[in-house]
A and B are shown apart, each in its own frame.
Chain A
């Protein structure tokens, strides 16, 4: 089974509007971390935001916030006030905290976000 599922291959949003990128995850580990990365066409993965499984509040970093719904195993990224420079591929990732896979991140297939003027 997929550890991370991103069901939106592409999303379009007008500049200055908010957009939500979906992510669901699958784990039996009670302790895990969820990450969002941005990958512009240049290829570098840029860390955006982190949410721990035990965090009581949703994470926020500037215009980025993470809508964490633990019971539904979802960790959606919300970008407020979109900018043209937000156009990129966005990846959701998860790290589990025990067992033989301790170090690795599991990534989804990504969502291509296009911001139009």
Chain B
């Protein structure tokens, strides 16, 4: 039973460039979440999928951010026209609807983005 995986682990880009991150959830998990964590803070929710449907989006997710989960398996998070304020750790998590009320989210190792 492999955990949540994220690629790449690190990304350095220049301001104005587009970047895309990938998340592969635990195989039987149908819920997938994206969070952003800046230095010295706890993770902040960005968006949430159940299967391929995007059910919730935070106001943090500006028009430059888009997330997809086309076949209900892996997900991608794209940031267009990156800004220095986008520098953060982007965390992906997954959970199973079958876990009932607990619905524990299991996290991947994260993608650390640095915008120069």
Contacts and interface: CB of A to CB of B under 8 A. Distances in A.
A33 B105 contact: no
A42 B109 contact: yes
Contact of B42 (A50, A103, A109): A109
Contacts of B101: 31, 33, 52, 97
Interface residues of A, number: 28
B41 interface: yes
Nearest to B55: A103
Given A47-B104, A50-B102, A95-B103, A107 B56 contact: no
B44 A107 contact: yes
Contacts of B103: 33, 95
A103 B48 CA distance: 7
Contacts of B89: 43
Contacts of B72: none
Interface in B35-71: 35, 40-45, 48, 50, 55-56, 58
B56 A100 contact: yes
A104 B42 contact: no
Interface string B85-102: 000010101000000011
Contacts of A109: 40-42
B104 A110 contact: no
A73 B89 CA distance: 30
B37 to A, nearest CB: 8
Contacts of A64: none
Interface string B17-45: 00000000000000101010000111111
B102 A104 contact: no
Contacts of A100: 56
A91 interface: yes
Contacts of B104: 35, 47, 50
A110 B109 contact: no
Interface of B: 31, 33, 35, 40-45, 48, 50, 55-56, 58, 89, 91, 93, 101-110, 112
